[in-house]
Amino acid sequence: MNQSIINYNSGKDEYKNWIVSETEFNVKYQKKCEAIFCLGNGYLGIRSATEESYLGQLRDTFISGTFNKFGDNEVTELPNAADMIAIDIYVDGELFSLEKGIVSNYERTLNMKTGELKRYFTWTNKSGKTFNFLFKRFVSFHNLHLFATKVEITLVGCDANIEIYSGINGQVTNSGSQHFLEGEKRIFDNRYIQMLQKTTESNITFVHNTVHNLKVDEKEDIPTYRFEMDRRKVGINYNSSVLSNQTVYFEKISNIYTTRDKDMEGMSIKEIKDISLKNIKHSRSVGYDALKNVGCKEWQKNWDSIDIKIDSDDDYNQLAVRFAQYHMLIMTPKHDNRCGIGAKGLSGEGYKGHSFWDTEIFILPFFTYTMPEIAKSLLEYRYNMLEGAHIKAKENGYRGAMYPWESAWIKDGEVTPVWGGADIVTGESTKIWSGFIEQHITSDIAFAVWQYYQITGDEEFMNEYGYEILFDTAIFWASRLEWDKDKNEYHINDVVGPDEFQEHVNNDAFTNYMAQWCMEKAVDYYKILKENNSRVFVRLNNPEYSGLNLDKEIDVLRDKTNKIYLQLPNKDGLIPQDDTYLSKKNIDLTKYKNQKNVGLISKDYNPKQRNKIQVSKQASVVMLVYLLEYKFNNKIKQSNFDYYEPKTLHDSSLSLAIHSILASDVDKPDFAYKLFRKATEIDLGTNMKTSDPGIHAASFGGIWQAVICGFCGVRMVQGKLRINPKLPEQINSITFPLLWKGNKLEIKVTNNKL
């Protein structure tokens, strides 16, 4: 671990608290900055690997929604598109590398206000020649297909031969899985490089284009160049003799289109090739700087609707919240309601680009309260996969919509891998049970639909999509319940709740309460629609249209809502997490609570052994009393927080922020602040290994909620807006925008005023 490598104070003046930087290049830690400095626009995500190559890099480029299944034993994943970031630079025949020569004044900065990544340093090679390097890069926020790099190399008091190789490299894989069949390669007009490749199973054609602009000082250079074409690879090699104090300006402008793109729907590959080529020609004529400026305007518009101003003694707080929002903006496919958000956004191969409840419960509130159009599109994604949810229910012997634990393309159904890492006792692969029995996601999605509706008042969305999701998910739960004839009540047995350390439990509190909530809402809206919205009711009640027969379902739903077993709080307010949690043994968890890296307990106990201990991975009952808070008073919140937090290792990145909110609710502002800070450090902190496979998308949503719903106390309670601030003493004030039923509010919270 290197404490000083990440700098939070690089931004000055208008960029104060907008810039995160890396102050030293270290090959060992490259993956961290590749992920946390990721660039994107929701369609495209590019890890910030350096232009020159180093061992251990992950040179990933992902396009939202382009899932492919590599083999029968693998699950579908987002394939790594051809690399168009790489640029090889040779100085007097020697390949430039930061591992050779002397490097000084190094800094790499991510400017979250403009979406631009910069890297600069002075490099002296082994012959004693010195060069100033500046690399700039952006992914356009204006034209979703476009991204560009600009390299400037200034020769300090020496002449040199500069050779640059750059192009399109389809030899990259997803950890060895090559998802593409090789396609056409071509160089047009001696400049425009085009390469196609097609995914092996989903048959999506990717069209990649790149072009370069080379200048020495202000003059366009006509260097010697050589075409290079290889397997899955095509590029151009430029060679120029440059004089002392001259600067080489090398621009690389690229685009990607695919046959899955929403804006290319119905087009032939030939048409897409032509459009992409026309666009790359236009982009080249505009050039890096002007293209970037257009994108910046788009960034500004986005920030105008979401920026939170935090006045505190530590500027890091302001930066950390912007960092969370920056990532949520670049990871979210707002352009396409057939795509969801991956658990790592588009910043790495982790979780294969799949969507979890992370979207609905963690990330969605940010969009619902500030950019509802985007929240709506994400919910439509869930609507669009109803067919797959019906199939999953049927395969498991149930009815209605049973959402997959992990989702990819809308038609893919359940895509959770079945096998995970090695069991420390048996040495065998551990079975991942979530895809089979982590079922609460079905109510989480219904909950998000209702939350969106209450906050935005978007009746049209409900008529078109929302009510159908509510009824369909409730029907699933009704079919899922198991009758216990001795107790005269319905149970939900053999599940994994949000706390994934506890597998195969019965009556998980979170799962049962949320299932009841879901059925209860369906019962309520049955009545409301029947009485007040007959057009929609008639449509939804017609099995030919919606597959639903509400009149037939309603009595069963009502009965099951009343008879489902719920873990009730005991006299101290404690809610058992499930049927057996409270009777499991307690062990000393100090070692694990103080761990530097998550997952320490899994090195000492395998899942079976862990299952016998009162230890939790993440918020579960604590999450329940947050989401359904109108059902629980403060005493209950307090006693569950006090009981479960000490048993929770926060081994999931989804945990800290939710605990921070609850700590705010139960008047523990210092603890709330501490948990918030820890949540911000998951990706932005100085631990250089936490983000290697990609950032933690849900934790960014959690950070936003910890500030807005925790410190500022914003909550939608039963359709009403409540603001009950609990600022910690480290924060003087927070000012933030909020949309409430279409009204734009600007809210300022101080220690004694709202």
Least separation in angstroms between CB 353 and ligand IFM: 12
DSSP 347: S
Q: Are 573 and 631 in contact (CB under 8 A)?
A: no
Please tell me whether residue 458 adopts helix, strand or coil conformation: coil
> Which CB atom, from 256 or from 619, has the smaller least distance to ligand IFM?
619
Least separation in angstroms between CB 741 and ligand IFM: 30
Least separation in angstroms between CB 46 and ligand IFM: 21
Describe the crossing of helices 634-644 and 656-665 by its angle, rounded to 10 degrees.
Answer: 140
Please tell me whether residue 557 adopts helix, strand or coil conformation: helix
Least separation in angstroms between CB 356 and ligand IFM: 4
- 500 is annotated as an active-site residue: yes
Q: Are 390 and 547 in contact (CB under 8 A)?
A: yes
> Which CB atom, from 529 or from 658, has the smaller least distance to ligand IFM?
658
Least separation in angstroms between CB 476 and ligand IFM: 19
Least separation in angstroms between CB 684 and ligand IFM: 17
Both tokens of 383, joined, read 């609507």
Both tokens of 299, joined, read 């960034």
At position 196, the amino acid (one-letter code) is L
First to last CA, the chain: 42
| Residue closest to 27 by CA, chosen among 2, 3, 65, 56 | 56
The alpha carbons of the chain give a radius of gyration, in whole angstroms, of 27
Distances (CA, A) of 749 to 240, 595, 707, 746, 754: 59, 35, 11, 10, 5
φ/ψ of 129, rounded to 5, equals: -85, 140
How far is Cα 367 from Cα 380, in angstroms, rounded to an integer? 14
Residues contributing to the site for ligand IFM (CB under 6 A): 343, 351, 356-358, 498, 500, 652, 654, 698
Least separation in angstroms between CB 405 and ligand IFM: 8
Q: How many CA within 13 A on the CB side of residue 302?
A: 25
> Which CB atom, from 111 or from 652, has the smaller least distance to ligand IFM?
652
> Which CB atom, from 211 or from 343, has the smaller least distance to ligand IFM?
343
> Which CB atom, from 358 or from 665, has the smaller least distance to ligand IFM?
358
Cα angle vertex 490, ends 484, 492, to 5°?
100
Distances (CA, A) of 368 to 9, 518, 628, 735: 31, 20, 18, 18
Catalytic residue among 500, 503, 553, 645: 500
Residue keyed to tokens 């997959």: 404
Least separation in angstroms between CB 113 and ligand IFM: 28
Residue keyed to tokens 């057009």: 535
> Which CB atom, from 330 or from 658, has the smaller least distance to ligand IFM?
658
Residue keyed to tokens 């995500």: 45
Q: Are 138 and 330 in contact (CB under 8 A)?
A: no
> Which CB atom, from 429 or from 562, has the smaller least distance to ligand IFM?
429
> Which CB atom, from 343 or from 393, has the smaller least distance to ligand IFM?
343
Point out the residues that are catalytic: 500
